[in-house]
């Protein structure tokens, strides 16, 4: 008998597949894999897709998987989840804690993948009701440059045919379970990695006049580079320049010959981003001349700005309110964190939202990338339903 799919059917099916989605999340959480090493995770996902009779292609852009449900040739929309974990030792104490020492799903990618599996299960049950094709993208390497999204795009994941739109979600421990947060326009910043080597002539700290002190030069450089944000940036353009690594391997009485710095530059304006790189290089050059040392900057260009398409995100908000209730849909402010989903947003209209994962009683509120990060697993049902509902609705419209 043909099912007339609607919101109630999506909610019912999302509850129906919840236990399987939960098991998927637990398995992936127990066996986390680092960026571009997700071989076992990919194999596990392929086994589930095969069991469900869902068409898929493995090995896309590395360990990526692309599955398809519905009618090829008419409208196509895409749903994306990332699969990789982080080099963090887990401290949640959960019965499904990581069995891979020093590796943990501390950013919720296990939940993202489980929700996309959930959406695949739901949509496959109503595939005759889909007025087009849903393309499910299981992506490797979100946490590491150059980003798995760029590799999958290069492999043609957004071609044959080009999707009308693409959707993605990310766990958010600052929102309660059962809710979601949206932001139209520039939502997440570009992210570039800075590696700077300062080389001088080291020696005895009691005789600095005979040396070319790279520690002093590196210290002055960090202060000078703050001018990029405080004096060179248009105050209306959010920008961040931060250093988290200063390696000077000397001693109380030893000035080393080199210092290594590492940091990040982030902004919401692509033109200013490129201009800022030139400013950073110029300040490095002038500081080197001032302190008679060699300063060599390496700027690794990372993810671009994540742009949520205005009309599409307005539509997502309205559909989410219809599914979850208006009180469960929250407007968020832009964030200086970065996401390689941004690459997709520069190719097709995209919308990326945050999925509430904090328990109502305040548990599961540790931030992402924390060794005690975990989620209220009720979020898996919400995430499954939301992706399924948006896919069904977008194809119908």
Known catalytic residues are: 84, 142
Nearest to 355 by CA among 333, 387, 326: 387
Q: Do residues 307 and 346 touch, judged by C-beta distance below 8 A?
A: yes
In the block, which residue shows the tokens 């001018």? 227
Q: Do residues 81 and 340 touch, judged by C-beta distance below 8 A?
A: no
Buried b or exposed e, range 320-355, using 16+ CB within 10 angstroms: beebbeeebbbebebbbebbbbbbbbeebbbbbbbb
DSSP class of 128: G
Taking the CB of residue 360, how many other CB atoms lie within 10 A of it? 11
Residue 240: beta bridge partners? 266
Per-residue tokens: 324: 């979850």
For residue 53, count CB atoms less than 10 angstroms from its CB and return exposed for 0-12, middle for 13-18, buried for 19 or more.
exposed
**3-state SS of 339-387?**
CCCHHHHCCCCEEEEEEEEECCCCCCCCCCCCCCCCCCCHHHHHHHHHH
CA distance 217 to 200: 9
CA distance 65 to 58: 4
Largest Cα–Cα distance in the chain? 89
Nearest to 98 by CA among 25, 172, 48: 25
Buried b or exposed e, range 129-154, using 16+ CB within 10 angstroms: bbebbbbbbbbbbbbbebbbbbbbbe
Nearest to 222 by CA among 302, 297, 301: 297
Residue 151: CA count within 13 A, CB half-sphere: 21
CA distance 230 to 6: 52
């Amino acid at each position: 008998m043909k099912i007339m799919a609607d919101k109630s059917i999506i909610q019912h099916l999302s509850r129906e597949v919840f236990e399987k989605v939960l098991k998927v999340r637990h398995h992936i959480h127990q066996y986390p894999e680092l960026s571009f090493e997700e071989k076992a995770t990919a194999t596990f996902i392929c086994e589930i897709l095969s069991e469900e009779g869902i068409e898929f292609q493995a090995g896309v852009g590395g360990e990526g998987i692309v599955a398809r449900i519905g009618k090829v040739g008419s409208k196509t929309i895409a749903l994306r989840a990332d699969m990789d974990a982080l080099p963090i030792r887990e401290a949640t104490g959960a019965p499904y804690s990581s069995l891979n020492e020093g590796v943990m799903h501390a950013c919720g990618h296990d939940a993202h993948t489980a929700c996309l599996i959930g959406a695949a299960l739901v949509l496959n049950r109503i595939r005759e009701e889909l007025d087009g094709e849903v393309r499910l993208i299981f992506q490797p390497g979100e946490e590491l440059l150059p980003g798995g999204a760029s590799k999958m795009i290069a492999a043609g994941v957004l071609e044959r045919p080009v999707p009308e739109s693409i959707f993605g979600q990310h766990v958010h421990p600052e929102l309660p379970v059962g809710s979601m947060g949206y932001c139209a326009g520039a939502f997440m910043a570009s992210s570039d990695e800075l590696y700077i080597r300062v080389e001088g002539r080291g020696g005895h700290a009691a005789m600095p006049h005979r040396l070319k002190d790279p520690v002093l030069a590196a210290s002055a450089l960090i202060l000078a580079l703050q001018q990029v944000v405080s004096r060179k940036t248009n105050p209306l353009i959010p920008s961040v320049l931060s250093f988290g690594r200063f390696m000077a391997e000397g001693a109380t009485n030893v000035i080393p010959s080199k210092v290594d710095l590492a940091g990040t530059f982030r902004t919401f304006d692509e033109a200013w981003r490129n201009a800022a790189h030139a400013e950073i290089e110029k300040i490095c050059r002038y500081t080197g001349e001032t302190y008679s040392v060699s300063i060599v900057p390496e700027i690794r260009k990372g993810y671009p700005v994540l742009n949520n398409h205005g009309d599409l995100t307005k539509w997502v908000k309205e559909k989410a309110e219809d599914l979850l209730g208006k009180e469960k849909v929250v407007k968020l402010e832009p964030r200086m964190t970065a996401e390689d989903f941004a690459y997709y947003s520069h190719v097709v209209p995209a919308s990326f939202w945050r999925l509430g994962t904090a328990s109502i009683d305040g548990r599961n509120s540790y931030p992402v990338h924390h060794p005690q990060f975990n989620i209220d697993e009720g979020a898996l049902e919400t995430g499954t339903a939301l992706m399924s509902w948006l896919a069904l609705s977008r194809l119908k419209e």
